Amino acid sequence: MTITLLFIIFIACPLASKGGKWTYNGPDGEHDWSSKYPFCGGAFQSPIDFQTQLLRYDPNLPPIQVQNYNLSTNEQLTLGNTGHSVLLSLPSHMYISSLPHRYSAAQLHFHWGSSSLLTGSEHTVNGNRFAGEMHVVHFNSDKYPNISMAVDKHDGLAVLGVFIEIGEFNPAFDKFFKYINGIKYRDQKIQVPAFNVRALLPARLDEYYRYDGSLTTPPCYPSVLWTVFRKPVTISRKQFLALATALYASHAQDSATVPLHGNYRKPQLTDNRVVLVSFKDGLHSIFSVASPFQRKQVIQKLLVGDLADLADEGLYQLLPKLSPQPGVEKKWKKNKKQGQWSQATQKQQWSNNKVPSNTGYSSSIGKKTPTPWYMGALGTDKEMCFVSLEENVVHQLERYHAKGLMVEALREVVFPELNLRSYLHCRSDLDLQTIKQLIKGRSRDEAVELEQSLTKAMLRQIRRQIKQHRNPNMETTMGHSQATFPKDYNSALTYHRPQRVEWED
């Protein structure tokens, strides 16, 4: 059974799937996570490397505003050793107020290196890793009653990431670091007095990286809106070593003790995501993000418009880039079982489906028309549950004795909708795989027309770049960095998507 056919039948009926033991190293290390937690091998995974070419300046990003972070010392917080990290529980009356929804605090935890390797942050900046990283985890309390209900929803979590470097002693961290010997072993917990959690964050909350990503530990659901602050906080070397040497990932009764350190996941594929930044200083040749309105125009044109007009209107700038990668198949294959819809039929299909008014599209509804897959992404309030999706996929694969295809199939199902959602929020470039899904109901001739139009548009873009190379004062294309061009660019224009790789310890 092919992946294409599996894609058609996946969204059917549920069967629960279960995970298992996981570690950062050894036989149960991150190279094996996806065998027990398929989303760990799927799309939109975290952490990532904040490479300069991924960054897009968004002047509309507001400073992060946190409320009720200055806790009373009369409150008690639970400090625990999970076997994977140090975790401090947080009360839900702490929350972020500068996001579209209210995100209430649940817990904070840490990732760090070891006494011999003082680098252990999960996110990196142009390949550079910090000593550690703190994650303050919040859940969408406007829509979900607790973090357990929110963790597998596409809009369920918002995490504040804080880089940690070794420097001056930090009294705020010592508020609970001094109790760390009480949780030396896995599953040990103690109560500690509350304190001002705001003091753990950088002084400036207006400079940060923003992108759509996932939990960095199993089950790796892609349910996190990440905000990683640009400026690190410091702790002393003594404080760092206390964290890196005093704890064990094993239980107190275990015969062999396992040190708890090096608990960070390696960088993941970017999956056509871009990283919005709230700052411009110190960055050269950084481009402003394209507007959501322009992106909605692109989607509307793909669904119902004249595909050739995408290039004529300049909207091709927001479509996948043509890349000089010879040997990649150019033609878009069409499943023989798919019907050949005319443009007029597709327009009728579009008008018969209800689209939320805040997308700027039609709002009529046809009772007999099935809801297209992309409506979940266009309707921003529609829930996307990763647990249910995983159960559906497992059920279908087990029916056909093809459970080994789980990771690939799950990615095939989830990626287009994640990419479309993130694209409409300006946090991804539109992927060719997503475009294929959007126009699969249209005729082959129209798909070929789009490809030809993009090729012509790319040729024009290359010519402009040649002129700009000769005249550096010319303006660059908004929203994208300049693409490199080959000497023989007429023969090298093909669609290319980077191949997935397996990260290993």
Annotated catalytic residues are 84
Planar angle of CA 39, 43, 44, nearest 5 degrees? 110
Check: CB of residue 200 under 8 Å from CB of residue 233: yes
What span, in angstroms and rounded, lies between the C-alpha atoms of 85 and 174?
Answer: 17
Phi-psi label, residue 44: left if phi above 0, alpha if psi -120 to 50, beta otherwise = left
SS3 labels along 396-425: HHHHCCCHHHHHHHHHHHHHHHHHHHHHHC
For residue 304 the two structure tokens come to 């119902």
Q: Which two tokens stand for residue 326?
A: 């010879």
Q: How many CB atoms lie under 10 A from the CB of residue 392?
A: 19
| Side chain identity, residue 446 | E
What is the maximal distance between C-alpha atoms in the chain? 71
Do strands 95-96 and 103-112 pair parallel, antiparallel, or not at all (unpaired)?
antiparallel
DSSP per position, 289-324: PPPHHHHHHHHHHHHHS-TTHHHHTTGGGGSPPPEE
Q: Is 501 helix (H, G, I), strand (E, B) or coil?
A: coil
Q: How far apart are CA 8 and CA 28, in angstroms?
A: 33
> What DSSP string runs through 93-145?
T-EE-SSSS-EEEEEEEEEE--SS-----SSEETTEE-SEEEEEEEEETTT-S
Report which secondary-structure segment, H or E, holds 456.
Answer: helix 444-470
Helices 386-399 and 406-424: crossing angle in degrees, nearest 10, is 150
Distances (CA, A) of 217 to 127, 263, 374, 500: 20, 10, 28, 19
Q: CA separation (Å) from 225 to 264, 426, 498? A: 19, 13, 24
Interatomic CA distance for residues 182 and 256, integer angstroms: 19
- Tokens at 347, concatenated: 């327009």
What pairs with residue 95 in β-bridges? 67, 104
Residue 364 to residue 491: CA distance in whole angstroms: 45
The two tokens of residue 328 are: 């990649």
